[in-house]
Amino acid sequence: MPNASVPEPLPEEQEVLRLREIIAHNSDWLWEVDSQGRYTFCSEHSRQMLGYAPSEVLGKTPFDFMPAEEAARVGAIFAGIVAEQRPFAGLINRNLRADGRLVVLETSGVPLFDEQGSLIGYRGIDRDVTPAIGPLDRREVQLEALYAAASVALGLVDRQGILVNVNHALGQLLGGDATQLVGQPLLMPQLDLAQCLAELELGRSVADCELDWRERTYLLSIGAVRDLDQQILGMTLAFSDITEQRLMREALAQSNAQLAEANARLQALASEDFLTGLPNRRRFDEALLQEKARARREGRPLSLLMVDVDHFKVFNDHYGHQAGDECLRRIAVLLGQSLQRPGDQVCRYGGEEFAVILPDTDVHGARSVARDLCRQVFDAHLEHLASPLQRVTLSIGSASHDPDHPDNSVALGALLRVADLALYRAKQGGRNRLVQGGQEEPAAPH
């Protein structure tokens, strides 16, 4: 039986096999793109170059693997090459690997045409030249990539305010393409670049400032760019979006203001009598201590009046507690209206008792004020049919400290006790009267 022989490959098949072997063992990355720049062929070396399998590369463009600024730069160059339908070589471009590392490729390619001579794409190779870049150049490349991809809006203007460099974030902030903004003046009415340059020329720093732009708030930092002779070539600009911080700051300020207002209200409530709105017993004790300390420190007179509404228990029994509350509110208003000086204070001491603090007032002044208080209430004709006088009246006990007249003076520490005792005597003596340190007199007409 004759031996079966293996047929020899045809010359065309041999050529294809040789090409596949060359591609498989080539250290460069071979590729083809269509007229739209999309990969239609990708050799296995895309794994070594970019960290992506060929299947992950097909259908994408070279610019999908570049930082935005680099894609704009290389895209502009490649557009010119395609427009002239010419081959190219040695096009250096920066790419981001799948692991985030930067790789620098040198790209060369030739145009592909169909039978009618129309451009249908490019075929070419990429070579990794990252190791050939020096340490300083590599650092520069890395910094440029970071600059382009930074979330902070970064830019550089010359002395005339013309944009020399714009990263992607600043392009978005200004509402344009970063590459197209280069060479254009920076138009921000809120920003006086000439004044900033003048400050830098004088050796001063430009303070960071907040700037509102298109419904956002930015913190702007400005620095000088100098040559080797320390002459200013331009300025760096960094816009940090602080809108959220501003909103939080405003919300915190509003909360603090509301808290302060609430605390003030609570403080007022803690020192205010709920029924009459006058300072309460607690506030009276504080005010009396303050005024006694001032009188002692300055050697000034001080008087205290203790005021009681006559026959008030009978008033409540006759008219009811609601009417009694209204009576106390009317008395509080009348007492307040009778005091003429800002420093005089009337407080609700408790029940139907009130206290009046009279700074810089001697025994004669206290007598005059007490008479006015009694007359004011008497003349108001507040009905009290259960009282002998058929109207509401007051009894007042007074005590005065007067360093200039020690014979008629009460020690500061005894003011409240003496005034309270004088009030007791006024009530025991028939009410509707004033008693001053043991001196008794009717306080209002009968």
Q: What is the pLDDT of residues 202-261, one digit of tens each?
A: 989 889 989 998 899 999 999 888 877 788 888 989 999 999 999 999 999 999 999 999
The pLDDT value recorded for residue 23 is 55
Helix axes 135-149, 68-84, angle to 10 degrees: 100
The rounded percent of the chain whose pLDDT value lies above 90 is: 57
> Is pLDDT larger for residue 56 or for residue 445?
56
Looking at the predicted structure, is the pLDDT value of residue 98 above 80? Answer: yes
pLDDT in tens, 38-72: 999 999 999 999 999 999 999 999 999 998 778 87
Quote the mean pLDDT of the chain. Answer: 87
Burial of residue 399, with CB atoms counted within 10 A of its CB: 0-12 exposed, 13-18 middle, 19 or more buried: buried
Reported confidence tier of residue 178, pLDDT bands at 50, 70, 90:
confident
- DSSP 8-state secondary structure symbol assigned to residue 40: E
Name the pLDDT band for 187 (thresholds 50, 70, 90): confident
Single-letter amino acid, residue 314: V
The pLDDT-based confidence of 118 (bands split at 50, 70, 90) is: very high
Alpha-carbon distance 162 to 47, whole Å? 42
Give the pLDDT confidence of 262-284 residue by residue, as tens digits: 888 887 778 889 899 999 999 99
Q: Annotated catalytic sites, by residue?
A: 352
CA pair distance 186, 194, nearest whole angstrom: 12
- The residue that leads in pLDDT, 303 or 444, is 303
Q: Rounded to two decimals, what is the model's pTM? A: 0.47
Q: Comparing 320 with 1, which gets the higher pLDDT?
A: 320
Q: pLDDT tens, 314-337?
A: 999 999 999 999 999 999 999 999
Query: Which of these ranges, 160-169, 373-382, 421-430, has the smallest mean pLDDT?
Result: 160-169
Q: Encoding tokens for residue 133?
A: 């870049």
94-101: long-range pairs with CB below 8 Å, 24+? 94/66, 94/67, 94/70, 94/141, 94/144, 94/145, 95/49, 95/50, 95/62, 95/65, 95/66, 95/70, 96/65, 96/66, 96/67, 96/145, 97/49, 97/50, 97/51, 98/50, 98/51, 98/52, 99/51
- Residue 444 sits at the vertex; the CA angle it makes with 438 and 446, to the nearest 5 degrees, is 115
pLDDT of residue 363: 93
What is the set of domains in the chain, with CATH numbers? 13-134 (3.30.450.20), 150-244 (3.30.450.20), 272-442 (3.30.70.270)
**Exposure class string for 356-394: b at 16+ Cβ within 10 A, else e:** bbbbbbbbebbbebbbbbbebbbeeebebeebeeebbbb
Predicted pLDDT of residue 269? 75
Contact 206, 200 (CB under 8 A): yes
